[in-house]
Structures are given as structure tokens and as C-alpha cells.
Chain A
Amino acid sequence: MIKAGASGYGEESYPFRRDVWSRPPVLESIIVQGLIRGGVYALLAVGFSLIFGVARMINLAHTCFYMLAAYAIYYLANRLGLSPALSVIPALVATTLIGVGTYKVFIDRVREHHVTVLLITLALAMVFQESMVLAFSSEPLGAPSFVSGYWQVAGVKVSYKELLTFGTAVVVLIGVWALLTHTRLGIAIRATAQDSEVANLMGINVSRVLLVTMGIAAALAAIAGIVVAPMWSVEPRMWTHPLVMVMAIVVLGGLGSVKGSFIGAFVLAFVEVLVVFIRPEFAFLRGPVALLVMVVILLFRPEGLFGVAFEEERL
């Protein structure tokens, strides 16, 4: 038993740290961290994949909606003083509107030219980034948490925020799946993704479907930004790394396959987390390693894990 020191922490003896385990719970930590990151990436990747499947469009500004929503939460909670819970809806709505508006004004008219779409979304991403720099400066900011505290499970500490993120991702993604498989709108979306000409002939309003899909994708990205803002940091360049990861995920899963994106998100998230745990001195390499995995998989299966070579099946 150890005697306390003279600094006034009590004269009774006390034991070692209560929570020291005999074996550090590395595997559990990896699983938990992988699931949480995977959830965030899945939210982003599914939206990106939807847009590609339906509009055949690679939207390089997709993760910018993630950034805009994060800034919106920061602004509403820190600058205007609203409570975090109240800020969610305005942030979500505003970002979705910006997403749909951007599509309508800038992208819709050049939809046919793929290179132009790529570039215009890239330029728009730069516009969004620089606007945030001008409005909020380049310094990293933090939004206040929705919930604080953490939960200890199997020797791993999971903050409630991380649980919220994961829970939100799961709920939202189930909602998207339900939307796509059980509603008329969902069927219209899938039909347009499979063959937009025939869908048009069948009476589906293709341009309306495109607009709605864009809105759903922006909303998904916004939700990701909202849950991430209090967890990670908010800064004008926060959209670049997720964009690269999302593209790697979507390619890995098979472009246009929502199921593929979902699974790919978790695969690459686990790759990232494994790098940090197994070789912590190479933690900074987690992005490049995930990309390397993507390249290798594409070498052996060019259409990705779930993309079918003839691009028939999408879900």
C-alpha cells in the first residue's frame, strides 16, 4: 500500500489506477474506432455513390457540404449562441438547400459533359473553401458537443459523441436503404440509375429524380458534418482528406453500388485504424495506405468489389 504524499491528497493509502487491465484491449479499441470512422465515411460515400449512380456525375464538391454543415453548426452554436440541439435542423436544411441550389444553377446545364462537371464541381469546391476562409479565417475551430462524457465498454473508452455518430450513421443509412427499396421515390431513383432513358419512357420525371437525389446526397453529407463538427475540428480544408477517402471507398465498392460503398467505407476505415494501432509511428500514412489498398484491389478486380462489369445491378 502506498502512502499519500504531503500535498494534501489524503493520508489514507490508495491502490493503483482502478482501470489498469492486465492486457491492453487493442482489438476492442480497433473495432470500436473502425466502426465509428466507418460510419462517418459510409454517410459520405453512400451519398456520393447515389449521385454517381443516378446522374453519372462525380461531384468533387460533395464533401464540401460536409464542411459547410460543420461550419453552420459552429456558427449557430458558437456565434449565435443557439443550443447544439436546436442548431441541427437549420444547419441540415441550409446545407441541403445549398446543395440542391448549386446543382440546379451550376451543374444541371453541363451535365452531359463529364470533364466539365468534374471541373466545375472542383471550382465550386474551391469557392466554398475560400468563402469559409474569408468568413471564419483559416484557424481550426470547434463546435460544442451535443453530449459529453464517455462510456467504458470492454476496457475501451467510447465518448458519447462517438456513439451518437455511429448511431446516427446506422439509423440514417437504414432510412436510406428503406427509402430506396420500399418507396416509390426509391424505386424511381433506382430505375433512373439503371437506365435513365427507359425510366423516362416509363413516365418517371428524370430531372426531378436527379434533383431529389442531389438533395438526399447533400443531406447525408450534411448529417456527417453535423455529427463530426463537435468531434473533430472544423477548418476550411477539412473536405480534402474525406474526399480522397470517399473516392477510394466508392471505387473500391464499385461505382454506383450503394451496398459496395457501405461495405467499402468500413473496409477502408478499418485499414486506417489498423495502421494507427499496429504501427503508430506511421499513423500519418493512414491515407496513403488506404489508397494503396484501393489501387491493389482495382488491379485484380477493376470493377470494384460489388460493381458488376456490365453495370447492371446497382443495389
Chain B
Amino acid sequence: MLRRLTYFVVACCLVVPLVLSACTGEEEANVIKVGVIGPMQFVQGEHHWYGATMAAEEINAAGGVMIGDEAYTIELIKTDSNEILNPADAASAMEQLITVDGAHFAVGGFRTEGVFAMQEVAMDNKTIFLGCGAATEELCTRVAEDYDRYKYWFRVTPFSNVNLVSNSLLTLGLAGGIMQKGLGLPGPLKVAIVAEKATWADAMVAAYQQYIPAMLKMEVAGVWRPSNTATDVTAELTAIEDSGAHLILTVLSGPVGIPFARQLGELEIPAASVGINVEAQKDGFWEATDGYGNFETTLNTYAEGLAITEKTVPFFNKFMERFGQTPTYNAGTYDALYVLKEAIERADSLDADAVVSALEKTDTTTTAGRVVFMGKDTKTPHDVTYGPGYVTGIATQWQDGEMKAVWPNLGVGEWEGITYEGVVMWQIPDRVIKAYTGQ
């Protein structure tokens, strides 16, 4: 009998890992819980956290968020979604954030598949989720398809990937124009497209193949699709050189961006590279490419000395001083928190539906530009509006160890007369000059 009892106890002990329910946090008075959810092991998640922390501290120090007559403090909850490695984890993390940790709002997200999964969970729970990382258009077209379910989703940064095509083509035009004029190149320029094999890049590649000849009057020399985790692209680069391309248009977000830039420089491939290279947005790029990543140009959001609005430089400097890194666009959680604060104050309540209506009326200046969310009648409601006078993004080029903003600029390749304080001239890479002039 005693033995049977012992075995019963053992059985119950085996069950302990299962029945571990976390304690539900008590509701504290006058606290707004905002979950910051992202891949915290990677720089994107880190910057989600840094940007949000800076904003929360500033807001709380300035008196917090006013609802009625009461001041509420913002409490941030750091959540690792692990979405880069496993999107399914992201869904569980979001669920835990909302149901166990009791978050009222969520900001963050990076990898598209992870954000789709997190979006579903947030919508299930009618929790407002401000995206600060995934550019996929479909995240917002869902709002149009099923407004009542998806209305709690808003995207603060980046703008839709559809606009990335425009920016890339504009940068390509700028670079091509400067090269053609500077080196006196005759005839149409040849462009090699290097796009990592990923779904987000597929649509862009198709668009480039159509618009590069039609709009820029350049030729497409070929399309190369390395894997986004490839560590060696010398084969691709050699083939690109063989094709006679003058420019390379990149669509790279994965680690391949580093060996690409490095091998490009080491082998002195006589083509200039512009487009999207997410690795080139990070400070560690210079060291990782051993300096050979010089002249690499990529679309970006922030750069030293760049003043898009009056908020940009103070934000940039404070971020740099406190964290020692250039902010990536994921640090737009800073803007997201201010947008949220204003919306809560406008709605004068924490009720999700009221805040949604208030968010839809957003028209404010952030570090990245003027943020207005697209309306219900558009194709992508709740997406951040793109274009001159709103949010345009920039392009940066590595020049001697520093990331400088080079687009939008005036002169060759000008775009509707837009430029910002702190933008400098794009430089033709030395290796290209050497190949074409022998110097």
C-alpha cells in the first residue's frame, strides 16, 4: 500500500513540468503595459527594445500618458519572439505576452512569417499591434479584406515593400547617372540583379526586370539568386563580371550581404552595387567585410548627421550615445510609442476600439518623417503613407568607414526636388574608376 502511494507520488511529480502555470500578473493601477516583441538575440530585436526604452523613459519622465485627469506610466515587457529561427515560437511568445503577461499593446516584429503568425494571435485577442519591421504588403491588405478582425494592426515602419522597388530604382538611377556622367560611359548601362532566394524578393525581381529597361533605359545583364545564408558568392560575382555589368542591384536581407560586399571589393569587380543590403545597414558591416565593403550602398532609415525632421538628429545622437550603435529602422519603436501615446490621449481611453479610431487619425512628425496611416478605402489600410512630404526613407553609402546618406539628393537623379539636410554626394567606387580609366 505504501509502495502504491509512492508510485502515485512519483507519477504526480512526472507531471510537474506540465502543470506549471505562470502567475497572472495583478492589475497595477495606472500602468500601460506595452510588449516589445522581436528577435532579441539579433540586432533587430535589440533595436526594437532600445528604441522603445528610450521613448518610454522620455514619455514617463515628461509626465506619462494622460487619460482623463490621470497620468499613466508606460511599462515595457521585453519578449523574445525567436522569429528568425522559428516563426512558430513567435506565435507562442505573442500569446504569452498577451494572455500571461497582460500586455495592452504590442510593438515590434521583424521576419514576415513570424509577423503573420503574431498578427493572428494579436487579432484573436483584439490587441493593438504596431509593426516595426516587416515590410510585406499583405500584412496590410488583410486589413482591407477583413477590417473588423485586422483593424488592430498598424504598421509604423518600414513602409510597404512595394515602395522599396521605387526607392531602389531611384537610387539606381542616381548612381547610374553619376557613373555615366563621371566616366563618360556610352550607351545603355547594364545592371546585374543579385537577389537572395526569398519570396519577398521574387516580386521585386519581376518588377525590376520590367521597369529597369522601361523607366531607366538600362539593360538587365542577368539575375542571380543566391541563398540568403550563402557564405560564398565568388562564383556569382565572377559570372557577373563576365557579363559586363556596370551596376549591381541588390535585394539582400540575409547574412549573404556580408560575403557579397566583401568579395565584391576584394575581387575588385568593376560594378557599383546599390539596392537593399540589410547587413550594410549595421555598424558591424565595416569590420565584417574587413573594409572591403566600402562604397556599398543600401536603402536605409537613419544616418549620422541626417536631419529628416527636427526629431531625427536628437534621436540619433541620443541613441548613439547611449547604445553605441547606429539605429536601424527597427528602432522605429521609438516613433511607435509616441504615435501610440498620442492616440491614447486622443481617444482618452485604453479601450482597443477607441484607440484604433484615434490611431487612424494620426498625423504627426516622427524621426522618419510625417506619419499618416492609409485609410480604410485604400488597398493597404493602416500602412504608413509613403512619398514626398511623408516618409520616404533614404539610401546610405559606406564612405571610408562611415555610413553617409546619399539619397534623396539634388542634381543627377533628383526626385521631385526632395532632399534632407546631411545628404552627401554618392561616390563611384574606386575599383570601378580603376577599371574604366586605368587609374
- Chain A interface (Cβ within 8 Å of chain B)? 2-7, 9-10, 14, 16-21, 24-26, 29-30, 32-33, 36-37, 78, 133, 137-145, 148, 150, 156-157, 159, 161-162, 228, 230-233, 235, 237-238, 241, 273, 276-277, 280-284, 286-287
Contacts and interface: CB of A to CB of B under 8 A. Distances in A.
A188 B424 CA distance: 67
12 contacts: A7-B182, A14-B438, A17-B435, A78-B287, A138-B42, A143-B290, A144-B290, A157-B267, A280-B223, A281-B223, A284-B225, A284-B230
Contacts of A231: 232
A6 B412 CA distance: 13
Contacts of A144: 290
B156 to A, nearest CB: 24
Contacts of A228: 231
Contacts of A241: 229, 231
B46 to A, nearest CB: 9
Range for the number of chain B residues in contact with chain A: 35 or more
- In the A-B complex, the 3 residue pairs with the smallest Cβ-Cβ separation, listed nearest first, are A24-B242, A284-B197, A232-B231
Interface string B425-439: 000000001011111
Contact of A3 (B184, B228, B284, B436): B184
Nearest to A6: B181
Contact of B226 (A3, A14, A283): A283
Contact of B436 (A17, A36, A78, A276): A17
Nearest to A277: B239
Interface string B409-433: 0000000000000000000000001
A26 B239 contact: yes
Contact of A5 (B41, B184, B238): B184
Contacts of A286: 227
A139 B43 contact: yes
B258 A5 contact: no
B257 to A, nearest CB: 8
Contact of A37 (B43, B232, B268): B232
A3 to B, nearest CB: 6
Contacts of A284: 196-197, 225-228, 230
B102 interface: no
A119 B426 CA distance: 53
Given A139-B288, A231-B232, 20 more contacts: A4-B184, A14-B437, A17-B270, A24-B244, A25-B242, A29-B242, A33-B238, A137-B42, A139-B282, A143-B290, A145-B290, A150-B268, A156-B238, A157-B238, A159-B263, A237-B229, A280-B239, A281-B224, A283-B230, A284-B230
Interface string B235-258: 110110111100000000001001
Nearest to A23: B242
A37 B242 CA distance: 20
A314 to B, nearest CB: 31
A141 B225 contact: no
Contacts of B244: 20, 24
Given A10-B437, A14-B438, A232 B181 contact: no
A37 B183 CA distance: 36
A276 B223 contact: no
A280 B258 CA distance: 19
Nearest to B198: A284
Contacts of B235: 29-30, 33, 273, 276-277, 283
Given A33-B238, A237-B229, A138 B41 contact: yes
A142 B223 CA distance: 26
Nearest to A275: B235
Interface string B255-288: 1001100110011111000000001001010011
Given A29-B239, A231-B232, A282 B284 contact: no
Nearest to A280: B224
A37 B230 CA distance: 13
A18 B227 contact: no
A144 B287 CA distance: 8
Contacts of A78: 287
B324 interface: no
Contacts of A162: 234
Nearest to A30: B235
A137 B437 contact: no
A115 B354 CA distance: 59
Nearest to B240: A280
Nearest to A141: B288
B289 interface: yes
B266 A159 contact: yes
B222 interface: yes
A233 B259 contact: yes
A26 B433 CA distance: 25
Contacts of A16: 436
A283 B184 contact: no
A156 B244 CA distance: 13
Interface in B20-47: 41-43
B222 A140 contact: no
A139 B283 CA distance: 11
Nearest to A142: B288
A36 B233 CA distance: 12
Given A10-B437, A157-B241, A280-B222, A233 B231 contact: yes
A137 B41 contact: yes
Nearest to B197: A284
Nearest to B185: A2
B272 to A, nearest CB: 14
A174 to B, nearest CB: 24
B186 interface: yes
Nearest to B255: A140
B113 to A, nearest CB: 17
A19 B435 contact: yes
Nearest to A143: B290
A140 B267 contact: no
